[in-house]
Copies of this chain bind each other. A is one copy, B any other.
Amino acid sequence: MQTLRVELGERSYPIHIGAGLLDDAGLIAPLLRSNRVAVVTNVTVAPLYFERFAAGLSQRGIQSLQIALPDGEAYKNWETLNSIYERLLEARCDRQTALIALGGGVVGDIAGFAAATFQRGVPFIQVPTTLLAQVDASVGGKTAINHPRGKNMIGAFYQPLAVLADTDTLASLPGRELRAGLAEVIKHGLIRDAGLFEWLEANLERLLAREPAALAHAVFRCCQIKAEVVAADERETGERALLNFGHTFGHAIENAMGYGVWLHGEAVAAGMVLAAELSRRLGRLPAADAQRVAGIIARAGLPTSVEGIPAQQFAALMGVDKKALAGNIRFIVLDRLGAASICGDVPAAVLSATLATNAARRGRAN
């Protein structure tokens, strides 16, 4: 097991990474103020891991209330959140009852927001079981639900007491979700660590084959990068925005396709290809490097473009309307592989040309 610490003053917390942590209730028990916890999970993850996880806690005299949500981004909404409140109130949970998120990014986001808002905040622990959640969603305290008018529109910054990333759980992950998680791993390399990016180019097949040592290395390094960024800018007033590389395009893709049709990581993958292309057209990134971005994403089995979104709709979904300049959105661009920055003045023509390459790339691919 490796442990790193997210430094946020009185809100600092440890991230434990390793094999078999799901059984290690000793990492959780000392953090609790009550002999009961509520484990928020989903109907897919619960049959795989709930019993084992609860058994570890039970041995230490801690009872687990299971709250299994329907599975998928489409359920990250008010109705599901309210079903968590209902269960907590029905079971007479109080401000001492910790909420534990056992599952992927959706479970973590919604359970975290429930923890942030139930009785004005209860203790929260993350046990991410997908690659995406282990490298990204569980670090940094972002919690949210979606609103019909936009993704993650309702939420809070709320830090957990601890994160346990059990790399064994990645063995059972569907291939599509593993690949979606790799999109975020690649992102961490692109925005901040050329060495990680090169390591990924050299070791991608080991990750796709789920070699435990390779997965543990990727998770640890990504958490380390994200923890550094978050510690410097907890509430995303500056540097933390770099973590949104590929996400301005990606969120538009998710929205256009309907939430849950594309996985978040898939949309971010195609979004990163577009963001690299934008960086190239702005004269920041050499064409060869933009090619390397598209190349590793394709090798990871992730989409490098998206069909069926006309450029104008795409722009509108990113908040660019006919009257506005593209300059009213801040894009994250690459200055080189391993270094990103915020660009607030992208000319509308350059954005249009970039979106046109999506159509062209799509054309070539078909």
Contact = CB atoms under 8 A, between A and B. Distances in A.
A82 interface: yes
A235 B119 CA distance: 11
Copies of this chain in its oligomeric complex: 2
A48 to B, nearest CB: 30
Interface string A352-366: 000000000000000
A85 B147 contact: yes
B89 A150 contact: yes
A235 B11 CA distance: 13
Contacts of A113: 117
A89 B154 CA distance: 11
A271 B117 CA distance: 27
A111 interface: no
Interface in A147-181: 147, 149-150, 152-157
A336 interface: no
A121 B237 CA distance: 12
A120 B240 CA distance: 14
A346 B346 CA distance: 67
Contact of A154 (B90, B118, B152, B319): B118
Nearest to A92: B319
A25 to B, nearest CB: 25
Contact of A157 (B82, B121, B149): B121
B121 A153 contact: no
Contacts of A155: 117, 119-120
Contacts of A156: 116-117, 120-121, 156
A78 interface: yes
A80 to B, nearest CB: 13
24 contacts: A78-B82, A85-B147, A85-B153, A85-B154, A86-B149, A89-B153, A92-B319, A113-B117, A117-B154, A117-B155, A119-B153, A119-B154, A119-B155, A120-B142, A120-B143, A120-B144, A120-B152, A120-B156, A120-B157, A120-B235, A121-B156, A121-B157, A121-B235, A156-B156
Interface of A: 78, 82, 85-86, 89-90, 92, 113, 116-121, 142-144, 147, 149-150, 152-157, 235, 319
